[in-house]
A = this chain, B = another copy of it.
Amino acid sequence: MSETKKTIIVLFSGDYDKAMAAYIIANGAAAYDHEVTIFHTFWGLNALRKDENIQVKKGFMEKMFGKMMPRGADKMGLSKMHFAGMGPKMIKGVMKKHNAMSLPSLIEMAQEQDVKLVACTMTMDLLGLQKEELLDNIDYAGVAAYLGDAEDGNVNLFI
């Protein structure tokens, strides 16, 4: 019987700070030899977008969504509206000062630690995001696969 602990995080939020929290917990759990999965759904999918503009064929709505949503982790905003504008800059400034890792670095570290990064295919379909627009070496799955992982999870979080 396997003794490996499992941590499964649903990243629903498209906020920079919430995604940071998700990836800090994920990297911590991976360092403790947990088997870790982050299931990116809804706005959380934006954390997996490449930051360049990838040319793919899309309908009008899908193009609109593509433009309205942040292109990649570094462009995401904060969860607190009254920090907006000043907020993200201040946070990034203070993080640099304290040598804290940025969200893109946390994602890179997660990939190096074999954290399984999953893009929710239903959301991709809904928002018109295509594989070419997302980071390389990630997995694609739906809610059924998420549940298969989560039902044996030691730590299940919805962020």
Out of B61, B81, B90, B147, name the residue touching A64 (CB < 8 Å).
B90
Q: Tell whether, in the assembled complex, residue A65 and residue B81 are in contact, meaning their CB atoms are under 8 Å apart.
A: no
**Contact at B151–A34, with CB atoms within 8 Å?**
yes
CA distance A7 to B41 in the complex (A): 19
Copies of this subunit: 3
Q: Is the interface of A mostly helix, strand, loop or mixed?
A: helix
Within 8 A of B (CB), among A40-80: 41-43, 61-62, 64-65, 68, 79-80
- Which B residues are CB-close (under 8 A) to A158? 21, 157-159
Give the number of residues in A that approach B within 8 Å (Cβ atoms).
Answer: 55
Cβ-defined contact, A144 with B32, below 8 A: yes
Q: Specify which chain B residues have a CB less than 8 angstroms from the CB of A14 in the assembled complex.
A: 80
A98 to B59 alpha-carbon distance, docked (Å): 12
Quick check: B42 and A21 within 8 Å, CB to CB? Answer: yes
A sample of 13 inter-chain contacts (CB < 8 A) reads A12-B21, A17-B42, A25-B146, A28-B144, A32-B148, A65-B90, A98-B126, A100-B122, A100-B126, A153-B155, A155-B156, A156-B156, A157-B158
